[in-house]
Amino acid sequence: MAYEELVRRYQDVAVRTAHLFAPDGDAEDATQEAFVKAHAALARFRPDAPFRPWLLRIVANEARNRRRSATRRVGLALRVVEDRRPDDAAPSPESAVLAGERRSDLLRAVNGLRDDDREVIAVRYFLDLSEAEAAITLGIPRGTVKSRLSRALGRLRERLAADEAEQ
Amino acid sequence: MSELRRPVAAIGDDEVVAELRALAAWLDAPAIPRAGTPDPARRARLRIEAGEGRSGRAWWPWAGGTGRGPAWRRSLVLAVVALGVLAAIAGAIGFGVPGIRIIFTGPTPSPSASRQASSPGAFSPSPRPSPTVAPSAGPLGSGLDLGFLTTPSEASSMGGFPLALPASSSLGAPDTTWFTEGRVTFAWRTQPGLPETRAAGVGLLLTEFRGSVNQEFFEKMIGPGSTITPVMIGDVAGWWISGEPHEIVYLDPQGEIIADTRRVAGDTLLWTRGDLTFRMETSLDRGAAIALAETIR
Using one digit for the tens of pLDDT, what is the confidence trace for B181-223? 788 999 999 999 899 988 889 999 999 988 655 443 333 434 4
Q: What is the pLDDT of residue B52?
A: 62
Q: Can you give the pTM of this predicted structure?
A: 0.48
A 48-77 residues inside an 8 A Cβ radius of B: none
B297 neighbors B240 (Cβ within 8 angstroms): no
SS3 B133: strand
What residue spans define the domains of chain A?
1-72, 95-167
Closest by Cβ to B23, choosing from A3, A16, A107: A107
Ranked by mean pLDDT, the top range of A147-156, B9-18, B140-149 is A147-156
Name, in order, each residue with C-beta under 8 angstroms of B186's C-beta and a sequence gap of 6 or more: B152, B165, B174, B176, B177, B178, B204, B205, B206, B207
Alpha-carbon torsion A14, A17, A23, A25, what sign? negative
In this structure, is residue B129 part of a structural domain? no
Backbone dihedral angles phi then psi of residue B203, each to the nearest 5 degrees: -95, -30
**Minimum-distance CB partner of A95 among B17, B26, B43:** B26
Q: At the topology level of CATH, where does A1-72 sit?
A: Rna Polymerase Sigma Factor; Chain: A (1.10.1740)
Q: Which of A21-30, A42-51, B184-193 has the lowest mean pLDDT?
A: A42-51
Give B15→chain A minimum CA distance, Å: 11
N-to-C CA span, chain A: 56
Q: Could you report the per-residue pLDDT of B21-67, keeping only the tens digit for each?
A: 989 888 888 887 776 668 899 888 888 877 665 433 322 223 333 33
Could you tell me whether strands B219-221 and B99-103 are parallel, antiparallel, or unpaired per DSSP bridges? parallel
What are the angstrom distances between the C-alpha of B273 and each of A48, B165, B197, B211, B212? 41, 13, 25, 10, 8
Give, to the nearest 10 degrees, the angle between helix A142-166 and helix B13-24: 90
Whether A13 contacts chain B with CB within 8 A: no
Q: Which residues contact B293 (CB under 8 A, 6 or more apart)?
A: B166, B233, B238, B269, B271, B278, B280
Q: State percent of chain A over pLDDT 90.
A: 54
Confidence of residue B159 (pLDDT cuts 50, 70, 90): confident
Q: Which domain holds residue B52?
A: 40-118+138-293
Chain A, nearest residue to B19 by Cα: A98
Q: Is the pLDDT of residue A106 over 60?
A: yes
Instruction: Determine which of A73-87, B163-177, B221-235, B255-269 has the lowest per-residue pLDDT on average.
Output: A73-87
Chain B: residue whose CA lies nearest to A33: B44
What is the count of structural domains for chain B? 1
Average pLDDT over residues B164-169: 85
Kindly report the nearest CA distance between residue B54 and chain A, in angstroms: 8
Closest by Cβ to A91, choosing from B26, B40, B53: B26
Rounded to an integer, what distance in angstroms lies between the CA atom of residue A151 and that of residue B7?
Answer: 19
Bond preceding residue B61 cis, omega within 30 of 0: no
Verify whether the Cβ–Cβ distance A81 to B28 is below 8 Å: yes
The answer to whether residue B208 is domain-embedded is yes
- In this prediction, residues B226-233 reach a mean pLDDT of 79
For A52-77, what is the mean pLDDT?
A: 77
pLDDT of residue B231: 87
CA distance A96 to chain B (A): 8
Chain-chain contact of A7 with B23 (C-beta, under 8 angstroms): no
- pLDDT value at A95 more than 80: no
- B42 contacts on A by Cβ (under 8 Å): 4
Q: Compute the distance between CA of residue B222 and CA of residue B88 in angstroms, rounded to an integer.
A: 19
pLDDT at B147 exceeding the cut of 90:
no
pLDDT tens per residue, range B261-292:
566 677 888 888 887 889 899 999 999 999 99
How buried is B66 (Cβ within 10 angstroms: 0-12 exposed, 13-18 middle, 19+ buried)?
exposed
Facing residue for B1 by CB, picked from A4, A94, A97: A97
Chain B residues touching chain A at CB-CB below 8 Å? 1, 4-5, 7-9, 13, 16-30, 32-34, 39-45, 47-49, 52-55, 65, 70-71
B92 domain-assigned: yes
Stronger pLDDT, B252 or B172, i.e. the higher one: B172
Looking at the predicted structure, is the pLDDT value of residue A11 above 70? yes
Higher pLDDT, A113 or A92: A113
Q: How far is CA A118 from CA A32, A70, A155, in A?
A: 23, 18, 10
Amino acid at B284: L
Residue B89 three-state SS: helix
Are the beta carbons of A15 and B34 separated by less than 8 Å?
A: no
Domain assignment of residue B284, yes or no: yes
Overall fold of domain A95-167: Arc Repressor Mutant, subunit A (1.10.10)
A 74-93: CB under 8 A from B: 78-81, 91-92
Task: Work out the widest C-alpha separation in chain B, in whole angstroms.
Answer: 87
Where is B158: in which H helix or E strand? Answer: helix B152-159
- Quote the CA–CA distance of B103 and B244 in Å, as a whole number: 12
pLDDT tier for residue B166 given thresholds of 50, 70 and 90: very high
* Lowest-pLDDT choice from A25-29, A60-64, B194-198, B250-254: B250-254
Q: At what angle do helices A142-166 and A100-111 cross, to 10 degrees?
A: 120
CA–CA dist B98, A61 (Å, integer): 40
Summarize chain B as % helix, strand, coil (round to 5).
Answer: 25, 25, 50
pLDDT at B136: 53
| A99 reaches B (C-beta below 8 A) | yes
Question: Residue A52's pLDDT is what?
Answer: 92
Q: What are phi and psi of B212, to 5 degrees?
A: -135, 150
- B269 to each of B32, B205, B245, how far by Cα in Å? 22, 10, 13
pLDDT on residue B65: 33
Average pLDDT, chain B: 67
Distance from CA of A139 to the nearest CA of B (A): 22
